[in-house]
Structure 1
Amino acid sequence: MGGTMDGTKQRRRGNTRQRIQDVALDLFAEQGYEKTSLREIAEALDVTKAALYYHFKTKEEILVSIFDDLTQPILDLIEWGRRQPHTLETKQEIVRRYSDILADAAPLFRFMQENQATVRELRVGETFKERMQGLRDIMIDPAARMVDQVRYTSAIFTLHAGMFLLQDLPGEAEDKRKAALEVALDLVAQAHRGATGTA
């Protein structure tokens, strides 16, 4: 499930719809969703506004399509997790896979982090919240103590923190991602020990 951001972009350059998504996301991240117009997206693509309209009628349609495409792996992971036993190995694999998903869709998650107010007002905000709740539900054991439920949930958000809060610190992005993953896996192990009463 690995792959780099550049590799994702390379695979996505194949068709016009995906080129529109990539250029729009770059512009949304660079100057903000509200300040980006369909005309600017068309100009950046070197196409007419009518050509852009053939694929998308509004900015929100573009953003929703980006969100749906790049977060589909979260839905796939939730479905996979629901079919697995509630073991430590399963939960650690969920965390590893989610770390890969974040890396593969890094531009989208950065955009969402930096445009939280806008995202909350759009349909993608509620959809993302539902996906995070689905991810939480395959991680936690409802019978676990609250402190262990918080640890399971915190493992997910440790990966987010690794992407956003560490980005301006010195060091390689991949090293920061691995460090965040190590901490997240440790939180899952602690929660599992607490939930099962093992030492």
Structure 2
Amino acid sequence: MRIATLKSNRKESIFNAALDCFNKHGYYKTSMDMIADRAHMTKRGLYYHFKSKDELFISLFNYMNNKFYEQVPASASTVPNPEERLMLFVKIARRVLAEHADFLKFSQEFMSIGVRKPKIRKVMTSYYKEQVEKVSRIIEQGVASGQFTRVDPITMARAIVLLTMGAFNVYFSLDADFNLADQHSFDIEQMIRCLKKK
């Protein structure tokens, strides 16, 4: 048990170091040497945990996403009202956006590397499809219960996910004149308002 805890703590230390390096230097200019140095370990020790920079990059993305989902209460899936469930995710996303800009910046780097690296694109595509599926299930329930207007749940979910991804991209690609958490909340709340039956 103690060895597993130490290994887990070591990986978390590596993830923190890698996040700092990728955010500061970008994927291509970050080396495993830099990450090992930042994590206060040998390069050999780093390669014990991760066989390549790609493996570390993907593992970091998955680790950060899992941390996000840990903030979603277990009771969220039992909220019977689809509008309330979507608003709960908006509330959680608002908090994450306000507190974890480092992860969001990394996510943009991850997405951009997917343009040239099929392994990364595959992970990002899977994540995107998973998000669309989760949101579409909630919209489908809202349409079926008569709370939402009749829309294609997949198309509407895709619009919500793409709007979110686009906002992140703009925010980290230029000198944004808006607060990302506030803008994201506003955007999604307006889409939910349009979904509601009058």
TM-score by length of 1: 0.69
* Superposed displacement of residue 97, structure 1: 1.9
1:191 paired residue number: 195
1:43 paired residue number: 37
Identity percentage of aligned residues: 21
After superposition, the C-alpha distances for 1:53-110 in whole angstroms (9 at most, x for unaligned) are 2322222222232222221234885976554324322221122223334445432332
Aligned 8 A contact 1:163 1:177 in 2:
no
* Alignment partner of 2:176 out of 169, 181, 191: 169
Answering whether residue 144 of structure 2 is matched by residue 140 of structure 1, we say: no
Alpha-carbon distance in 2 for matches of 1:163, 1:182: 14
* Alignment partner of 2:184 out of 163, 180, 192: 180
- Quickly say closer, same or farther: Cα 1:146–1:157, change in 2 above 3 A: same
* Superposed displacement of residue 181, structure 1: 0.6
Answering whether residue 46 of structure 2 is matched by residue 33 of structure 1, we say: no
Aligned residues: 178
* Superposed displacement of residue 188, structure 1: 0.5
Aligned 8 A contact 2:136 2:154 in 1:
no
TM-score by length of 2: 0.69
After superposition, residues 28-177 of structure 1 pair within 5 angstroms as 28-72=22-66, 73-74=68-69, 77=72, 82-119=77-114, 121=118, 122=120, 123-141=122-140, 143=143, 144-146=149-151, 153-166=158-171, 168-170=175-177, 175-177=179-181
Misfit runs of 4+, over 6 Å: none
Aligned 8 A contact 1:21 1:66 in 2:
yes
Structure 2 residues without counterparts, runs of 5 or longer: 1-7, 144-148
- The aligned amino acid for 1:190 is C
* Cα RMSD after superposing both structures: 3.3
- The aligned amino acid for 1:169 is A
Alpha-carbon distance in 2 for matches of 1:84, 1:170: 35
Alpha-carbon distance in 2 for matches of 1:110, 1:187: 25
Aligned 8 A contact 2:133 2:154 in 1:
no
Alpha-carbon distance in 1 for matches of 2:105, 2:60: 13
Structure 1 residues without counterparts, runs of 5 or longer: 1-13
Which structure is richer in relative contact order (CA contacts within 8 A, separation 6 or more)? Answer: 1
Alpha-carbon distance in 2 for matches of 1:190, 1:149: 16
Could you say what secondary structure the match of 1:141 adopts? helix
- Quickly say closer, same or farther: Cα 1:112–1:80, change in 2 above 3 A: same
2:5 paired residue number: none
Alpha-carbon distance in 1 for matches of 2:154, 2:192: 10
